[in-house]
């Protein structure tokens, strides 16, 4: 089993600001995933991180993975309203084959 903890659970930020969402996990894993869910919608994949030190960027979002610290981060640069959504991280433990999800971070970007 992999316990995945995200923080913060709720985040309200102003447009133009930067912020980071943290995802800590409980056991050895080098497979970490980030998903986005808009209200009333399904989840869509943002990033797949498959090795220590992996960094992926798409637009204003950048994800990284530090397997030694058991930590992944999702950094938001110059937030815009369209980024308002719930963000989930998920991981697969090295000894298993299931995806385990965090509880999600609900992000609201305020004009």
Partner 1 sequence: DADVTQTPRNRITKTGKRIMLECSQTKGHDRMYWYRQDPGLGLRLIYYSFDVKDINKGEISDGYSVSRQAQAKFSLSLESAIPNQTALYFCATSSGEEKLFFGSGTQLSVL
> Residue numbers of the site for partner 1 (CB under 8 A)?
1, 4, 9, 31, 33, 35, 41-45, 48, 88, 90, 92, 97-104
CB of 70 to partner 1, least distance (A): 18
In the chain, how many H helices and how many E strands? 0, 11
Measure the CA angle with vertex 7, ends 45 and 71; round to 5°: 70
Of 16 and 96, the one with the shorter C-beta distance to partner 1 is: 96
| Helix segments in 10-106, DSSP class H | none
Please say which residue, 50 or 69, places its beta carbon nearer to partner 1.
Answer: 50
User: In terms of CB distance, is 12 or 14 closer to partner 1?
Assistant: 12
């Amino acid at each position: 089993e992999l316990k995945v903890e995200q923080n913060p659970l709720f985040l309200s930020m102003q447009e133009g600001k930067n912020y980071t969402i943290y995802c800590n996990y409980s056991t050895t894993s080098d497979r970490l995933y980030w998903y986005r869910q808009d209200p009333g919608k399904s989840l869509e994949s943002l990033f797949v991180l498959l090795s220590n030190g992996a960094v992926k960027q798409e637009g204003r979002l950048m994800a990284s993975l530090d397997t030694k610290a058991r930590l992944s981060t999702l950094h938001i640069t110059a937030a815009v309203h369209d980024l308002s959504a719930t963000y989930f991280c998920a991981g697969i433990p090295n000894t298993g084959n299931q995806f385990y999800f965090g509880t999600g971070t609900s992000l609201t970007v305020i004009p």
